[in-house]
Amino acid sequence: MKAFGKYISKYLLSFFVFALILLLVNILAFALTFGGIVSREYGSASPANMLEAVAADLSASGISEERMQELNRNRIWAMLLDAGGRCIWEVSLPEEIPTQYTIQDVAVFSKGYLQDYPVFVRNIDNGLLVLGYPKDSFMKLTGNYFPIRAIRIFPLFVTGILAIDILLLFVVYYFSKRKIAKNTEPIMASIKTLSTGKPVDLSIRGELSEIADSVNRASQVLSRQNQARANWISGVSHDIRTPLSMIMGYAQRIAGDHGASGNIQQEAEIIRTQSAKIKDLVQDLNLVSQLEYEMQPLHKELVRLSKLLRSYAADLLNAGIGEKYSVEVEISPEAETAVIDCDARLLSRAIGNLVLNSINHNPQGCDIFLSLVCSVEDVSITVADNGVGMSAEKLRELEEKPHYMESIDERLDLRHGLGLLLVRQIVEAHGGTMKIESAPQSGYKTILIFQRPHGRH
């Protein structure tokens, strides 16, 4: 779910960043578009600057040649009106511009245009200086006025609106992310559960209901396939056990027949031994299948582990394991009364598989150690030996390479052997964990860790 949340966050954040970038691009475009115009029109040729320059340069003989060239270069015409409204001096005055004006005329054009020329005026000692700019160069708002207070607060208003917009955008992003995560969390959890092979039943309404229906259909298909596979394994196991029992019976009869030759008796004993292994393998296969698809009911009860471990060791020694092997049981004082809620038969089966694993991989003999320790929260059962152990590469392969019972891969290098797989499934069915430790010539150790029941610490 965290990965999906990051995925949603990534794209919502991308939208947020895109909006900010778009805003910055708009501001940059505005600056590039209007910056040149504003800087040009408000430079040395601006009305205010030009009025001041011409007024300072104007004398009884007119203006300097340099100033006149500047006016012509910017296509600006000029005239000086006396107190009576008569033009007493001019530069590049267009033909359609009058040379005599009344007070009313001056009052009108000083705020706007003169024959469509935007004009700007300045009162000097000699009269009224008038500068005319090319048509369509400036737009003058003759009838508008603005309160000073409005002009002062306008930058603050724009800044505040921009900040509020960004804040609202972030709020929308945050709540959109939460809503998407909330609506998709059940779907992601169901898919995660489905990936472990367990069925799900997802109930969602609204826009995502179609996805929920698809997940439920996939769950149903997977359940039917698992059921069919488990039934097939169970059926094959049953079909194999019947002829296998007959083979074992006849082999045992031949092996015990004193009238048969020695070679025949040995071969019959070999057949009986291997048939017993096949029978155990079939039983393990059936149990693994039932545990994998949760078809094996667990008959849980509070079990005192110290008693279970000692009983198993006693049964093992009574059955006889060979002189090359020894079994030692070590139980810490605090673990003597430790109990967990478990299926005693399956837990004994797991311990037995680990012991058998030590025996099978150490034909030269070894010491086998069964130990029980506990802490406040959990209890640990350890099955260890001092045999040949295994290399780090083999240990990594054991932990990482998939078992053929758990893989759909068609490779031939999948891990075989049902012993450890069965142990792990029994442990996981009880909510526990399994750890393996080993090194070459340093033995092999498997630790089974289970949570202690609340109130029994």
Least confident segment among 55-64, 142-151, 195-204? 142-151
Q: Is 386 helix (H, G, I), strand (E, B) or coil?
A: coil
pLDDT of 88 > 80? The answer is yes
Measured at the CA of 449, the angle between CA 447 and CA 454, to 5 degrees, comes to 160
pLDDT tens per residue across span 33-61: 666 666 655 667 888 889 999 999 988 78
pLDDT of 404 > 50? The answer is no
The span from the CA of 384 to the CA of 391, in Å, is 16
The span from the CA of 296 to the CA of 229, in Å, is 14
Topology of domain 301-405+416-451, CATH: Heat Shock Protein 90 (3.30.565)
pLDDT at position 310 is 92
Percent of the chain with pLDDT over 90: 27
User: Which is higher by pLDDT, 17 or 386?
Assistant: 386
pLDDT at position 92 is 92
Least confident segment among 42-56, 82-96, 220-234, 328-342? 220-234
For strand 325-331 and strand 366-374, is the pairing parallel, antiparallel, or unpaired?
Answer: parallel
- What is the C-alpha R_g of the chain? 48
pLDDT at position 132 is 94
pLDDT tens per residue across span 104-116: 999 889 888 999 9
Per-residue pLDDT, averaged over 152-177, amounts to 83
Using a 10 angstrom Cβ sphere, with 0-12 exposed, 13-18 middle and 19 or more buried, the burial of residue 452 is middle
Q: For all residues of the chain together, what is the average pLDDT?
A: 81
Topology of domain 209-292, CATH: Helix Hairpins (1.10.287)
Percent of the chain with pLDDT over 70: 81
User: Which is higher by pLDDT, 289 or 295?
Assistant: 289
Least confident segment among 150-159, 246-255, 346-355? 246-255
pLDDT at position 411 is 39
pLDDT of 15 > 90? The answer is no
pLDDT at position 40 is 59
Q: Is 402 helix (H, G, I), strand (E, B) or coil?
A: coil
